[in-house]
Structure 1
């Protein structure tokens, strides 16, 4: 038999160490299960599809100081110059860079702002007819902007009449799925939906609706302008190295700042999430190691206290396997109680995170998997010292100490 009762009696006689280990296992289970769940949530967030060929795209900002310059004409010349660079697929002026954490958003509604009605939050990019190709995004339905529909102006006295939106935004505006050809309002300005684009993310991955994106054919002619360039992926670094010189050669009275790849923009924007993920992984490893060492240490301590007892049992004919089994069962009993307590604490902690920090609800699968992992780790931590105890010679173990 498994001799459960003698093991219980032994634990009750020296309960301080067992209680400390039980608490340690409970704390590890509670924290690790929540940390593992949050880490998986961050991994999913960081690895989500953005809709862009990030390794092909880079962006920069120009600041022009020539007051006599015809900015509209110069921007058109600049775009043409960039597109003529070898290995550049396309280039376009934008008001904001996707995934950068800085952009513009507003409400699109089925009624003008002068009338009451619900609106849908959407990020918007102001760009010309080259926007979709520059971003590497295709149309699912409809058509692209015509050049005559694009407005380049220093003011918004005249506003475009058309827009291209993502499928997610279209379904939120028109749940029946017939957004193409419909009219929505950006403030009081009516915009006809002429195209439905593939999924793409806004400037903010952490936005409540990052898939709601609208492209409006408007380019603001100002001294401060963002430019996005798409290249052959293997040539992006080389082109980025020479882009500043090319831009200065094109017009000397401007400064180039913020030159960076889209993947770098995304990484910078997600820096806090990457740091959190690393800290969580470190926390999980440290807690598991500490728990394993605690179990190992308690087992070694118990063995040292029971050397004489173990030797006596061996002299009376107890097998080595029985000695190992004894310590495994003793540890398993402590571990089970600790896991039950830790699982309850994990669920309670997950509920607190949900209520106070808007974290996702803890999946009980992570609690069960953590409990299983801790249980296996705890048993493995006992094997070596228990095996060592079983190999003690009865003649040595029963000597007076």
Structure 2
């Protein structure tokens, strides 16, 4: 087939072709970035916490009496909670993954690195990070279902009532970050207290309470530090079927032991409820992005199809002449498909550039990750396929125009 008739036709409709190219380009740029954001958000929603989630229930306790011995209060509460039928284990924790409480400490592999970071007033130096730290009562790992991949759990004599902890358990990602050579276990780390903390264990997965930028959500550690705060989480381990009954019994038992406390009803929940509430906005955003992306693709397909229908009506005489001088139906069909392919390809070339520019803006303003390169050819394939499907019906109608009828209509 000669390209001349097609290019000649496109030159006669410059404004229409330009607007369609612009629409395809904007669609390509938006769709590539939206799909990437949706996939990234879905991966974050499904991010493993490192906990045995189906077995866990959580109840938050806020003591009103600030003068009360909170450590003794927590011990008495835990003893009563462990006596509830169905409760296998119970611990007190200062924070949990996907919760609203987070403690973080500037942490370095050596004291010299910590001193250097203090001078620069930044943890963005070699060998230093800002991980989230969890603290809880003995048995926290077993209760939460956190699995050690190296080392051991804390001993009873390592638990302290302040921040001067002698030992720590690191997540595998934090251990790799601080000790790239892989020698974290048995080594020491340093926090703001500037006292050595020995690494006694490493867990495979443990996310921080609040998710931040990509690559930092697994930077966590556990300390053998009992919280003396009046605000505490009690975590109960039980069979999944017993969780609601256990929560009701735990609330009644805690109020019986100390009426001078607050048990927020919305904070008596299973861990799965906690995860669901944390990612509620993300799920809503995914739904909105998917709907907007589908709507944009639909409008683009409608524009391509409408323009093709308009051109078929305008070119009936031209089609008839070409059929009369020997053009087959398949050649007419290919003509319109190729014409659409050229227009969409021009839009995609512009759209790829716009997609990269848009991603750079999102990275700068909202700290989203860099758009992987394979989203660009994937987006191009989607738009090529969409364009061919949208123009197929008008192209088939064009190929069905009889030569005699088209000639007489002239």
Q: TM class, shorter-chain normalised?
A: 0.7 to 0.9
Q: What are the equivalent positions in structure 2 for 1:1-400 lying under 5 Å apart?
A: 2-65=1-64, 71-110=70-109, 116-118=115-117, 119-152=128-161, 156=162, 159-186=164-191, 187-206=193-212, 209-257=216-264, 258-400=267-409
Q: How many residues align?
A: 396
Tell me, yes or no, if the aligned pair for 2:133 and 2:221 is still in contact at 8 Å: yes
CA contact (8 A) 1:113 1:185 kept: no
RMSD between superposed Cα atoms in Å? 2.8
Structure 1 Cα separation of the partners of residues 116 and 145 of structure 2? 34
For residues 296-318 of structure 1, the C-alpha deviation after alignment (integer angstroms, 9 at most, x for no partner) is: 00011011112233334445554
Are the structure 2 counterparts of residues 338 and 115 from structure 1 closer, same or farther at C-alpha, using a change threshold of 3 Å? closer
TM-score with structure 2 setting the length: 0.86
Question: Is residue 99–residue 262 contact of structure 1 (8 Å, CA) maintained in 2?
Answer: no
Deviation of 1:374 (Å): 0.5
- How far apart, in 2, do the equivalents of 1:80 and 1:131 lie? 15
Q: How much has 1:110 moved relative to structure 2?
A: 4.9
Instruction: Give 5+ residue unaligned stretches, structure 1.
Output: none
Tell me how far 1:8 sits from its aligned partner.
0.8
Residues 321-354 of structure 1 show CA distances to partners (whole Å, capped at 9, x for unaligned) of 2221221122112122222222222233333333
Counterpart Cα distance in 2 of 1:172 and 1:339 = 40
Distance in 2 of aligned mates of 1:115 and 1:99: 29
Superposed CA deviations along residues 203-231 of structure 1, whole A, max 9, x for unmatched, are: 12215633222222222234322212222
Secondary structure of 1:226's aligned partner: strand
**Displacement after TM superposition at 1:137 (Å):** 0.7
The CA distance in 2 between the partners of 1:335 and 1:173, in whole Å, is 49
Deviates more, 1:51-60 or 1:5-14: 51-60
Q: Which has the higher strand share?
A: 1
Query: 1:67 and 1:203 mapped to 2: Cα distance?
Result: 26
Distance 2:372 2:230 in 1: 51
Residue 214 of structure 1 aligns to a residue whose secondary structure is strand
Task: Give the direction of change, closer, same or farther, for the CA distance of 1:223–1:289 in structure 2 (3 Å limit).
Answer: same
Superimposed CA distance per residue, residues 119-150 of structure 1 (whole angstroms, 9 cap, x where no aligned partner)? 43221112121111122112223322233332
